[in-house]
A and B are shown apart, each in its own frame.
Chain A
Amino acid sequence: MNEITTAIRTVPLEHYVFLSFVLFSIGLAGALFRRNTIIILMCLELMFNSVNLLLAAFSAFHSDPSGQVFVFFIMLVAAAEVTVGLAILVMMKRNVDSVDVNQLNRLRW
């Protein structure tokens, strides 16, 4: 057991934080500059995962399993979200024959 703990500690926590920040920012930038809704959804997943990574890292470094349970719940919610999101995508494709996110502006008011 000690080996594992020392092994984990060889990488400082900051690096995990930076990594997840970078991943999150990439996902964010992608969500901003792509117009294909399905890619935006994927970017969302990417952001979810960066957060998950961060949570897992903190959980490990703080020896608290709650963080990992949180990750588990985030996965649950992400799965549900993707289901609905993709269903909306299908609807959208069927109704306006496009997956361009700007086509959704008719939901405006």
Chain B
Amino acid sequence: MVSFEQLAHLSWLVPAFPLAGALVNAALRRKLGANGSGALATLLVAASFVVSALLFWSHRPEEHPVEVVTLFDWIHVGGMSIPFAFQIDALSLTMMLIVTGVGMLIHLYSIGYMHDDPRVASFFAMLNLFTFAMLLLVMGANYLITFIGWEGVGLCSYLLIGFWYTNPAYNYAARKAFVMNRIGDVGVVLALALLFHLFGTLDYTAVLGRAGGFGVGNPLIVGATLLLFVGAMGKSAQIPLFTWLPDAMAGPTPVSALIHAATMVTAGIFLVVRSSVLFELAPFTKDVILAIGTATALLAASIGLFQNDIKKVLAYSTVSQLGYMFAALGLGAYSAGMFHVTTHAFFKALLFLGAGSVIHALGGEQDIRKMGGLKGVTKITYITFLIGTLAIAGIFPFSGFFSKDGILANAYAHSPVVYALLLFGALLTAFYMFRLLFLVFHGRYRGDRRPHESPAVITIPLIVLAVLSLGGGLLNLPHVFGGHEPMKHYLATAADGVAGEHLHLEAATEWILMGLSTVLVLLTAWYAYGRFAKRTTLDGEPADMPFLKRLIAEKWRIDELYATLFEKPYGWLSTTLFTFGENKVMTPLMNGVGNVTLRAGKVVRRLQTGNASFYLFAMVAGIIVFLLLTLYGV
């Protein structure tokens, strides 16, 4: 049996496999065929998963919590030395397992889903490239390696959202995603520069080890954490940078599942957990995170209530769940946040893939008003989707129950107001998810296509993910159920913030909180069943709705607000700077240099009368002046 250290030195294989897959698929686009390229991509991600799993099993966190593997010096200038290195510890292993595990299932699913697309090889190349970037992100041993992955996933997200590039709206959505991510990246780059300025290094072990030297509330640390959080806002779609994520649903559904639900969007949470030591030193930042997380959770959930596109509902649900995770981070409950990341990866990937299966079954239809009654035709999809819905709604014993309950318990310990808000959000989530479930699978079929169940290559991942969504709660089973919160203890070996967590609630209080949320969620589900299960008519257009409902249905008009506030003024600025600033000010300024010469010439030319006597006079005068100057020199 090889030891963990020896295996860790092979950890570069984990990102290398998908990178190789991306290169091979990109190079041999034509030759592999649809199934060939899909199989290659899936197998390579599976290989990564195997290596990750081996690493995980050989990892003895008590004895050897962290292993840093340096490949080579990347940037080395003056006092700056940034190695290309991977850090293998509990946190990165958790994320690696999620990325490669869920990623492998989604790759497998894509073989079926993308089978008929002519550019399937490109698709798998990009998907592999994404996996590679995401692995760099989670495995990096310093902030800059993480940033490579950070930007890399942004790029892949751009490419995959705009995968069907002939549609201008999709291209716009892709660009929007990239630019909004980039706005967040400004924060990350500045944060990294500031951290480097403070610590002289960007290695996680060094930075986090030395951070204790700064007092709690040190303004520079607060600034750095705020800037990091700006990056997290962009990547993880928090207010105010969340509008790209619903638009990102323009990409193929597996992309939505992998990138925009399970992995990439949780990068922000990963970054915060990774830097949890710093965030613990910045209470102000944590308050900001809590406020923004809660607000995002509620706002996105409210928008989800009236969406009619199956993927849009799930997208807003993702935004909302990400808000929960950030709220947990803001509460200092990092393990709860990471636990929710994990379970969310399972059930949200499941829901997206289920939605994809439905879309596939209906030949591309995404409008839930044209669905209904599919539970008879697509049985596996229905059951797995039901499990996913129960999980996200937080019903015992599904995984979402435990992870969401962890967050709610922490919120209650912090402040009942936050608890009430988050609980309300959970009810909204339950409502729109059950609405979705009932509108899609129950009632009568309202569309005009012939639905059919998807092939096994699509349903197998669904089943696996459904099992995970069902049993995922065991990963971090709380004490009240007789568990030992194994995930929390595991992560505590990697993130000092997790180790410092403390939650003191009486067992009775916890039981009451769980009972309350379960009862309320069940009531909401029952109400949704009553409203939507037998639905045969279609919802109207937003224009016919009462004001508030219409406002919510139109997504609070935030897209329009941004268009008015930023996009149009920017376009105007660009045009004006060119037509006015450049053509009316700058160019004349430069031409002025020439014009001054010409004008001066016109003035001086008058002296040239052509009168020879005058010249002679001038010459004599000049000679006299020069002689006098040399004689009685100045």
Contacts and interface: CB of A to CB of B under 8 A. Distances in A.
* Direct interface between A and B, CB < 8 A: yes
A10 interface: no
A105 B611 contact: yes
B616 interface: yes
B612 A101 contact: yes
B613 interface: yes
B608 A31 contact: no
A20 B592 CA distance: 52
A82 to B, nearest CB: 17
A105 B616 contact: no
A106 B613 CA distance: 14
Contacts of B617: 32
Interface residues of B, number: 10
Interface string B598-634: 0000000100111111001100100000000000000
Interface string A15-42: 0000000000000100110010000000
A31 B610 contact: no
A105 B620 contact: no
A108 B609 contact: yes
A67 B376 CA distance: 126
B620 A101 contact: no
B612 A105 contact: yes
A108 to B, nearest CB: 3
A102 B613 contact: yes
A102 B612 contact: yes
A29 to B, nearest CB: 9
Contacts of A32: 613, 616-617, 620
A87 B612 CA distance: 18
Given A28-B620, A32-B620, A109 B605 contact: yes
Given A28-B620, A32-B617, A32-B620, A104 B612 contact: yes
A48 to B, nearest CB: 16
Given A31-B616, A32-B620, A105 B605 contact: no
B165 to A, nearest CB: 64
Nearest to A32: B616
A107 interface: yes
Contacts of B620: 28, 32
Contacts of B613: 32, 35, 101-102
A101 B610 CA distance: 10
Contacts of B616: 31-32
Given A28-B620, A32-B617, A32-B620, A108 B610 contact: yes
Nearest to A106: B610
A95 B612 CA distance: 18
A107 B609 CA distance: 10
B573 to A, nearest CB: 48
A102 B580 CA distance: 51
Given A32-B617, A32-B620, A108 B612 contact: no
A106 B610 CA distance: 7
Interface in A86-109: 101-102, 104-109
A103 B409 CA distance: 108
A25 to B, nearest CB: 10
Contacts of B605: 109
Contacts of B609: 105, 108
Contacts of B608: 108-109
Interface in B232-281: none
Contacts of A105: 609-612
A105 B385 CA distance: 101
B626 to A, nearest CB: 15
- Which of A104, A105, A108 has its CB near the most chain B CB atoms (within 10 A)? A105
A104 B608 CA distance: 12
Interface in A55-99: none
A33 B460 CA distance: 115
A104 B609 CA distance: 10
Task: Name the 4 nearest CB pairs between A and B, nearest first.
Answer: A105-B610, A108-B610, A101-B612, A105-B611
Interface of A: 28, 31-32, 35, 101-102, 104-109
Interface of B: 605, 608-613, 616-617, 620
Given A35-B613, A102-B612, A105-B612, 7 more contacts: A31-B616, A32-B617, A101-B613, A102-B611, A104-B610, A104-B612, A109-B610
6 contacts: A32-B616, A32-B617, A32-B620, A101-B613, A104-B610, A108-B610
